[in-house]
A and B are shown apart, each in its own frame.
Chain A
């Protein structure tokens, strides 16, 4: 069966520090991968998605970047965190053809101080 992992679960970082959040998927190959930010009352904001290794599409210009160094690994990064980067970050995957339903990870709660 497929599983999706995210770490860390929680993170507290000072303003200006770098960020690296990791997401890995097991039990499937060639998934579409997604990074979302979930804010209370605002739903899920799509940040990045990827249809393959090295292929990243950005939905919202911001202080974050994403990379996909391996088929089932998706990394969210920042060189210098801002206070406004605080939030709950979700990784998700879906099948390659026509996407369909998404499967979400447990999320990372990031607090920038």
Chain B
């Protein structure tokens, strides 16, 4: 069975700081990888995804993530965060069953 680990449960940053949220998974086969975001009071929505090809994927609002197969990782990054990035971020992995497994989520608070 696949599992997903998000190392940072709570992150607090000031505006313009750089962000990196860790995500590691355990599954030996081919995976599809996702980052979802839930802004306060809004639906959970897709931030970016990786299916194949270039391991560095770019998403909405300046976010990017890098798939490192050897490390079973899919870390989310943003060079300069804004107050509006305050949200909860979820990493998800979809292995052979096509049923995604979600991490526990990371709560990000950005101070203006």
Contact = CB atoms under 8 A, between A and B. Distances in A.
Interface string A20-53: 0000000000000000100001111010010000
Band of interface residues on B: 20 to 34
Given A43-B103, A98-B98, A104 B9 contact: no
Q: SS class of chain A's interface: helix, strand, loop or mixed?
A: loop
Contact of B49 (A41, A98, A101): A101
Contacts of B90: 43-44
The number of chain A residues touching the other chain, given as a range, is: 10 to 19
Chain B at the A interface: mostly helix, strand, loop or mixed?
strand
A62 to B, nearest CB: 17
A61 interface: no
A89 B36 CA distance: 17
A75 interface: no
A92 B45 CA distance: 10
Interface of A: 36, 41-44, 46, 49, 59, 90, 92, 98-102, 104-107
